Each structure stands twice: as structure tokens, then as C-alpha cells.
Amino acid sequence: MNTTASEKINVWLDGNYDAETKSTIQKLQAENPTDLEDSFYKNLEFGTGGLRGIMGVGTNRMNKYTIGMATQGFANYLKSVYGNAEISVVIGHDSRNNSRFFAETTANVFAANGIKVFLFPALRPTPELSFAIRTLGCKAGVVCTASHNPKEYNGYKAYWDDGSQLVPPHDKNVIKEVEKISSVDEVKWTGGEANITLLDDAMDNQYIAMIKDLSVYPEIIAKQHDLKIVYTPIHGTGITLVPKTLAAFGFTNVTVVEEQATPDGNFPTVAYPNPEETETMSIGLAKAKAMDADILLGTDPDADRVGVGVKNHKGEWVLMNGNQTAVLAFAYMIEARKNKGIAQPNDMVISTIVTTEMINEVAKQNDVHCYNVLTGFKWIASLIAELEGEQNYIVGGEESFGLMIGEKVRDKDAVSAVALLCEMAAVEKANGKSLYDKMIEMYLQYGFYLESLISITKKGMNGQKEIADMMQGYRSNPPATINGSKVCEVLDYELQIGKDLESGESWTIDLPKSNVLQFVTEDGSKISARPSGTEPKIKFYLSVQTKLNNKEEFDAKYTELEDKMQAIRTDMSL
């Protein structure tokens, strides 16, 4: 067995760990030493977003002790920043197994350190935590969730006082403090229970009222109030607030997918609780088809991602991809505000470097400034804070089925996204069209862009090295051509250098360092490679484009773009 793992196992067997934990370790020693080694060969890394991992005993697992040590480090950092000033935090959690226990453990450790804690009384959507931090004037927050990961996982997302996940310098500084905690004996586990306050319905009501204020066309909703909406929370937190928010908007014909309505960390009806997966949305799709609904919405366990199902131009039910959903939302918020006369000269929108270039074109044609930031909503939130008072933020989003509408929440928010997507569907229905019809019209106006995402998983002790080797291979030996088209630009966000391969000209990329490589070809294709920050995966984002001259050639052009993406995959062995 790995020497490091063996040493850590002995520490846990001899240290101040509960009897059940020690018994589990001994059982794994006898029955599954390989799994035991994987559980201890390293410490579960507290990354720039917090923790995420498989639940179980060990330093490389999500459990009471890894949660407690992370919280102690976070508490130490907060006290070093704010000194003797009062510090308060908000704690929330999703529907996953152990999430309530992890949230209460987190609350207890913060409270034992003299920090005032506002704890949600039960599961709530992650975006409401972001809203609560800002509303209550707290210094930080934590939500216990692993988002859309499989049921074996849980996580710990750390937030700062602006309601955003940690960005520099706080992200790295918190990591340093967490890494200083070398023993569970350094954790203050109990003694501050009086510092914990349970939140009540008032926060829910304020959050829903905030989302209702985002509506651009409430008068159209009033006329289309019976829009046929099917919604699935996929056993997650969305059930607590999405139906209430839709009712607040004025929608009266909402059908919840009962098979997936009950919060359940085992996610019994799906293999993977991710609304971008067709299998995950299949029950909802069947119900929407049977009811002849107007729109299907699904949210992941912590209700920050949204999946959308609509009927296409042939009357077939399909799922929109994340880029399509983002483009629809960006275009709606830009065009609707302009048509209603409430657009401001300093309106801005924010996308990310791996999201469709079509968003930039929509913004350009409507004279709205579009910024592109690194992947992750914390970078969108960071730019909002930087430009506050100068530019008026409208909407942000990225291809990962996330939207952030309005500036009151500083993380992706599927609750507001569901409500606004239903409003979009109502507006189109009032014009005798569907959201898919609108999408085709946008392809005509802004250009036909199509994207896909390929994720390659590399698990285990060697997984990270394999991913690092793949990135280094692309970095040191970038492809000269992709699918027969010459690579004309290489963008290396880790080195912060862009290069024109024909002229040899290079320039500085004015964004924080990030391990992302992008290849732009002569025919307008863009291929991005990026290791995931939360899963043992390397992700490849493919984007292709063409011109759509009329609606009649849509199917042929769609097939042409799909074939092109498949050819790129083959050429790059993806």
C-alpha cells in the first residue's frame, strides 16, 4: 500500500475519530484494501470553489472530519480578515445524502469559533444562499452540495460577502488556511450553539419577490397564464421554490413530475441527476408529450442548472443544449428590454470563453457590450462587482446550463431561469410561435452556431496525471490542422498568451490564469480543452458555424454542422 495512505490510516485509527469510522476503516482493510488506499492516499483538495468528492471515511473523502477541518480553516481566515468585527455567515444544503448533517456540522464549527450563523431550516436552492448572503449583509456562506454529480458525491461550496464563490485573493488564502489544519484536534466542534439562528419563510418570500421583479412582460403572462408547463426538480431543492415562483409570476397551469418531486439523495429514477442528460429528463419529456405541453423545465439537485425541453419545428420533443438556452435568454433580455423602452445605454451582458460565440453576435447587433470571462459564475460576479456603478448588468451565463439574470444573485440561478424561460415561451406563444421557432429565427439573423461538449473521465490515482499529460501534449505540440482546416489561432489561458500562427503575432490575454487551451480554425470552428475543476474529467468544447439563408434549409444545415463536429471528434480522437 502507498506509504502516505498507510500513515494516514494509522493516524485515523489511533486518533480522536468516532468508533464507527474506525470500524469502517478496519472493515475496508479486510475486505477492500484498494478502496481504502484510494480513500487515504491524498487529502481531498480544497480547491478555489471548495470541496467535492465521494462520501466515505478517509482524507480523500467527504465526511464529518474533512468538512470540519475545511470549516475551521475558513473560519480562521474570516477572523484574520475581519479581526474583532462581528462576522456572520449563511449555511445551506441540498437534498443529497448527508447534506443536512454536513450543513449542521459546518454551522457548529463556525459557531464554536464565535461566528454568527444563519442556517436554512431545510434544503433550499443554492442561489437562495447567494441572495441571503447579500440580503443579510453576511461576510461569507457555505452550501453543502455536489450539484449534478452522481449520488455517491457531496460537496462544500464556499462564498464571500458579495454572494459569489471565492475569487482572488480570498480563494487561495482560504486554501492556505485550510491546509494549515493538520489534525481534527485543531477543530472547534461544539460550544457555540447560541450563535446559530434558523432562517424562516421571510427569506424565501424576499427571494421570490426579487425574481418576480425581473419579469419584463407580466402583462403577456396575464394573457398566457395557462401556458402548459411541466416541471421536474429531479429529487432536488427546486421543489421548494420553483412552483411558488411560477405562481408568483402568474402561471396557473404547472404540472410537477410527481415521480421526481420528492427530495431524495439516492435519485431513484435517474443514473445521473443532471438536467442536460436526455435519460434524466425522459420522464418529464414523456409527460410533456402526453399533455401536449408548451415547455418542459428541469433543475438539478441544488437548483442552479436548468434543462429545457420544447417541441421542434417538426413537432418532436427535444432538449435544448446549454448554449441554445443561454442564447435564448440573452437575446430575450436584450431585445425585450429594448422593445419595452427600458434598455439603458450602459447595459452589459457577460458570457464565458467556452460559451457560444453567437452571444457576442447578438450583443453586437443590438449595441450592447458583451464581456467574456473565464469559465465559472464567480468570474461573472467578479466583473459585475468591478464595473458596479459604471455599467448596468442584465444577464450572464455559460454553456453549462446556467444563467444569472439580474444582479441580486451572484451565482447561477435555475429558479429565476425557469421563470424567465416560461415568460419567453409565453411571449412567443402570444406571437403564434414556440421557443424553437424563435431559435431558428435567431440563426437566420445572427448566424447558425452549433456546439457540443465531450467529457473524458480519468478516475483514480493516475487520473489527474493522465489529464495533465493530455493538456501538456496539446500545449507543447498544438495541431496544425483540425478536420482539414488550418489552425490559425491558439489561445493559452494558462500562459495568458494568444498567438496568430500565420503572422506569428502574439498578444497578452487579459484574464486570470486558467488551464484552458483554444484552437481557432480558418473555417470558424473553435475547439477548447479544459480540465474540470470539480470532477476527474477533461472537457472538450466544440463550436462550428455556418450561414442559414432561409428556414427551409435549416435541417440540411443542421446535419452539415453535426457531421462537421463528428469529423472534428474523429480527427482529434475524442
Distance CA 100, CA 56 (A): 16
Is the omega angle on the peptide bond into residue 168 within 30 degrees of 0, that is, cis?
A: no
DSSP letter (8 states) at residue 307: E
Cβ-based neighbours of 23, under 8 Å, separated by 6 or more:
none
* DSSP-H helix ranges across 341-478: 358-365, 377-387, 414-430, 435-446, 463-476
> Three cell numbers at 536?
476527474
> Three cell numbers at 119?
442556517
The values of phi and psi at residue 75, to 5°, are -60, -45
Residues 14, 25 contacting (CB under 8 angstroms): no
Residue whose C-alpha is closest to residue 134's, from 112, 157, 156, 118: 118
Distance CA 485, CA 480 (A): 9
DSSP reduced 3-state for 426: helix
The full length of the chain comes to 574
Report the relative pairing of strands 196-198 and 116-119 from DSSP bridges.
Answer: parallel
Q: DSSP string covering 33-102, please?
A: HHHHHHHHSSPPP-BTTEEEEEBSSSTTSBSHHHHHHHHHHHHHHHHHHHTTS--EEEEEE-SSTTHHHH
Active site residue 416: no
Q: Which of 39, 95, 99, 147 is catalytic?
A: 147
Going through 424-553 in order, the beta strands assigned E by DSSP cover 448-457, 481-482, 485-492, 497-500, 506-508, 517-521, 526-531, 537-546
Site of grid cell 427546486 = 238
* DSSP-H helix ranges across 266-376: 282-291, 322-340, 358-365
Distance CA 42, CA 100 (A): 26
Site of grid cell 503575432 = 505
Which residues participate in catalysis according to the annotation? 147
